Amino acid sequence: MKIGCLKEIKKHEYRVGLIPTDVKSYVSRNHTVTIQQGAGLAAGFSDEEYRQAGAFIEPEREKIFADSEMIIKVKEPLPEEYDLFRENQILFTYLHLAADRKLTGAMMKAGIKGVAYETIETSDRHLPCLQPMSEIAGRLAIQEGAKYLEKTFGGRGVLLGGVPGVERGKVGIIGGGVVGTNACKIATGIGAEVTILDVNANKLAYLDDIFGSRITALYSTDANIEKILRESDLIIGAVLLPGAKAPVLVKREHLPIMKKGAVIVDVAVDQGGCVETIKPTTHDDPVYVIDGIVHYGVANMPGAVALTSTKALTSATLPYGLMIAEMGLEAACLKCEDIKRGVNLYQGKCVYENVANTFGIPYIPMAELL
């Protein structure tokens, strides 16, 4: 198969869809890989490394779109790319179509086959291409929170690990899923005192098993939310209601009960946030202060650590990409349900129910088209 990998054009997106070792895997199976010139530079991979791995380097994205049977990317295409789609071309990337009517329409009109990283799902309901980004965001949440607790950034001037003779910093985490667990790992690792809340008893039992007496795992009730807001130096928002907007658990009237200079990192901001006063921010200008509380609301946190994120993302996507290249999308769907669940659009039809429902367009199950 002819595979093309594009340089991302979304602002502050430094990741790339293939790394040189991935190229080797495709090329050794007799596929052709073309990388857009400079596509990997921001993540730390030079054109020369791709060339040595067996890729062709092409400066023009138009030419890559025109020549490739499968385009591999990271983020959804932007409007300036819509005219470059070709009928029956496979687009393998994060798509987030339910949030983008125009992109959905453009891809359907072009008859493109859209496979979304975020909806590839295993039979035990894991999202293997989304999970690594939550792991990264969870770990980064503590790193960023620790930074903004520094006085120069408006924080309380607290060192999360404390020092001998001085108490440790306190971290409160709301939501004990992938983001919350990873935040917990780093927070306990640097010696902070951690309380984590969830509504799911199994999650709490798991956290208790893993972290034991190093953390306090509590039910997420109004009273416990207030308790951690009062006590914590750093609050991490990490809740998710699948397919829905995040519930607002920290209200504006809660801010005065928090310590002045405390920091809120609401990782769930990409789903609307679980803090009423959070708004999406960018890596350029990540924080703002309301009522003395520092708010961090970057919606694409993994972009800050492009090298780690690229490696984590491509390790998750490579096995699926290889299967599609080896067998073609249709046979890959018949062999692997995970990939079938990843297909959102197919030759002008919407084959992903949530997207169809969101836009009130007909839904046709992929199984009927195979």
- In the bound state, the residue with its beta carbon closest to ligand NAD is 177
As a whole number of angstroms, the distance between CA 6 and CA 72 comes to 7
Contact between 269 and 252 under an 8 Å Cβ cutoff? The reply is no
Residue 98 binds to ligand NAD (criterion: CB under 6 A): no
- Nearest distance from residue 207's CB to ligand NAD, in Å? 9
Paired tokens of 165: 């003779």
322-341 in b/e form (b: 16+ CB < 10 A) is bbbbebebbebbeebebbbb
196 binds ligand NAD (CB under 6 A): no
Helix (H) or strand (E) holding 223: helix 222-231
User: Exposed (0-12), middle (13-18) or buried (19+): which is 142, by Cβ within 10 Å?
Assistant: buried
CB of 306 to ligand NAD, least distance (A): 13
3-state secondary structure of 236: strand
- Residue 12 is a catalytic residue: no
Nearest residue (CB) to ligand NAD, 107 versus 249: 249
Q: Are strands 56-58 and 32-36 parallel, antiparallel or unpaired?
A: parallel
Q: Which one, of 316, 134, 149, lies nearest residue 240 by Cα?
A: 134
Instruction: Indicate the angle between helix axes 178-189 and 131-148, nearest 10 degrees.
Output: 40
Question: Rounded to the nearest whole angstrom, what is the least distance from the CB of residue 38 to ligand NAD in the complex?
Answer: 24
Q: Does the protein bind ligand NAD through residue 269 (CB under 6 A)?
A: yes
Tell me which stretch binds ligand NAD (CB under 6 A): 73-81, 98-106, 146-154, 191-199.
Answer: 191-199
Q: Which of 198, 233, 270, 338 is catalytic?
A: 270
Interaction between residue 137 and ligand NAD (CB under 6 A): yes
Among 91, 299, 332, 339, the residue binding ligand NAD under the rule CB under 6 A is 299
Stretch that binds ligand NAD, among 165-173, 244-252, 315-323, 355-363 (CB under 6 A): 244-252
Residue 270 annotated as catalytic = yes
* Residue 68 or 181 having the CB closest to ligand NAD: 181
Binding site for ligand NAD (CB under 6 A): 133-134, 137, 174-180, 197-200, 203, 220, 238-241, 246-247, 249, 267-271, 299-302
